Amino acid sequence: MNVKKYLLPNTQQYKVNLHAHTTVSDGHMTPEETKAYYKKNGYHAVAFTDHEVLVPHNDLTDDTFVALVGYEYSIPLGEKGPMRRYYHLNFLSRTPDVRTHVFFHPKAVWGNARNYLPTVEYKGEYVERVYSTEFVNRLISEAHEEGYLVQYNHPHWSLQYYPDYEGLEGVDFLEIFNTVVNASCRLDRDDHVFDDFLWLGKFPIPTGNDDNHNEAYEGEQRWDSLGAYNMVASEELSYEGLMSALESGATYATEGPRIHAIYAEGNKVTVVCSPVAYLRVQGNGRHGYTVPVHRDVGGIEGVTVEIAPEWKYFRVILEDEHGLRAYSRAYRVEEFLV
């Protein structure tokens, strides 16, 4: 008799946006309005990640909502304009009291964020930014030292391709869904980048975020809130609870479909989900199992699949009848097969 091992912890799930801009930088809602809007729409936490300056909003945290602390760091390449390339990284504080900026330079701070320059804390000399994998790897390592987890944001919008990310080390989260990128530029998701990381033997945790700036009006096509989020399985709604669940991969990214459970019994893996039109359990490379799509779309609520050891890992992809998707992280075979 095989013991049931939950790969997605069987506990309360909290709805979290790990990428948001406010009036602190180029967003159009204040931090207070952002909290109110997201709470009204069923969220339990938002990471306030304004451009280039770390401005904590711990005062917005209460019993029902957690204001995660962070900021977005940008490394541009080339002239301003539609063909400029970037690395965009979110630094997400593991605890609410991290303050030190990583590889800081005041000339990288622009717009409203400049008002917060007097509050910036940093160590050592100013650091000039270099668009290279080597620089980004040192940056990620320094961010970890200072107490941050690192999210690699929207590579498609950044006009990045394989050579830009093939050598990256230590990326904790990979942003697969980004609402503003889809709402304003109609660029697609970054799940092929996720597969590239996996094929390289790296296992970042996929995330889905709004990167909201709220410049449009609610209801317009360009409204960039509520498009993608993370469901985080945590025993409790607290700053540390959410961040340690995220760090351990007790989460999945979604545009709508819900994953209720992923568990293994021996080499049999079961996925239980909200009704979807498409469900794929994908192993390494070409291996995988796709639940046949029926005409009665929306009729699939789970599957049990036998995982062959040569799969090495699997991940779950869901799509509902509206084309909205959800992605699990990649689970290594050694996590459940001994």
Is 175 an interacting residue with respect to Zn ion (CB under 5 A)?
A: no
Is 156 an interacting residue with respect to Zn ion (CB under 5 A)?
A: no
Q: Is the Cβ of residue 213 or residue 325 nearer to Zn ion in the bound state?
A: 213
Is 88 an interacting residue with respect to Zn ion (CB under 5 A)?
A: yes
CB count within 10 Å of CB 47 equals: 28
Q: Is the Cβ of residue 153 or residue 282 nearer to Zn ion in the bound state?
A: 153
Q: Is the Cβ of residue 211 or residue 320 nearer to Zn ion in the bound state?
A: 211
Q: Is the Cβ of residue 49 or residue 284 nearer to Zn ion in the bound state?
A: 49
With vertex at residue 7, the alpha carbon angle to CA 196 and CA 312, rounded to the nearest 5 degrees, is: 40
Residue 13 CB, nearest approach to Zn ion (Å): 24
User: Which DSSP string do the residues of 193-222 spell out, in sequence order?
Assistant: HHHHHHHTT--PEEEEE--B---S-TTSTT
| Phi, psi of 105, rounded to the nearest 5 degrees | -145, 125
The three-class DSSP label of residue 94 is coil
Q: Is the Cβ of residue 35 or residue 315 nearer to Zn ion in the bound state?
A: 35
Q: Is the Cβ of residue 72 or residue 164 nearer to Zn ion in the bound state?
A: 72
Residue 213 CB, nearest approach to Zn ion (Å): 8
Nearest to 328 by CA among 1, 4, 3, 6: 6
How many residues make contact with Zn ion (CB under 5 A)?
Answer: 4
- The mark string for 185-224 relative to Zn ion (x by CB under 5 A, - otherwise) is --------------------------x-------------
Residue type (1 letter), 58: N
- The mark string for 242-281 relative to Zn ion (x by CB under 5 A, - otherwise) is ----------------------------------------
51-80 binders of Zn ion (CB under 5 A):
72
Under 8 Å between Cβ of 46 and 16: yes
- The mark string for 308-337 relative to Zn ion (x by CB under 5 A, - otherwise) is ------------------------------
CA distance 8 to 250: 6
Stretch that binds Zn ion, among 27-35, 147-155, 220-228, 272-280 (CB under 5 A): 147-155
Under 8 Å between Cβ of 179 and 224: yes
Stretch that binds Zn ion, among 82-90, 138-146, 269-277, 289-297 (CB under 5 A): 82-90
Under 8 Å between Cβ of 207 and 230: yes
| Phi, psi of 82, rounded to the nearest 5 degrees | -65, -15
Q: Is the Cβ of residue 178 or residue 328 nearer to Zn ion in the bound state?
A: 178
Q: Is the Cβ of residue 18 or residue 318 nearer to Zn ion in the bound state?
A: 18
Structure tokens at 17: 């946006």
Stretch that binds Zn ion, among 54-62, 81-89, 135-143, 281-289 (CB under 5 A): 81-89
CA distance 304 to 78: 49
Nearest to 68 by CA among 14, 25, 119: 14
Give the CB-nearest residue to Zn ion. 88
Under 8 Å between Cβ of 69 and 20: no
CA distance 282 to 290: 8
The residues of the shown chain that bind Zn ion, judged by CB under 5 A, are: 72, 88, 153, 211
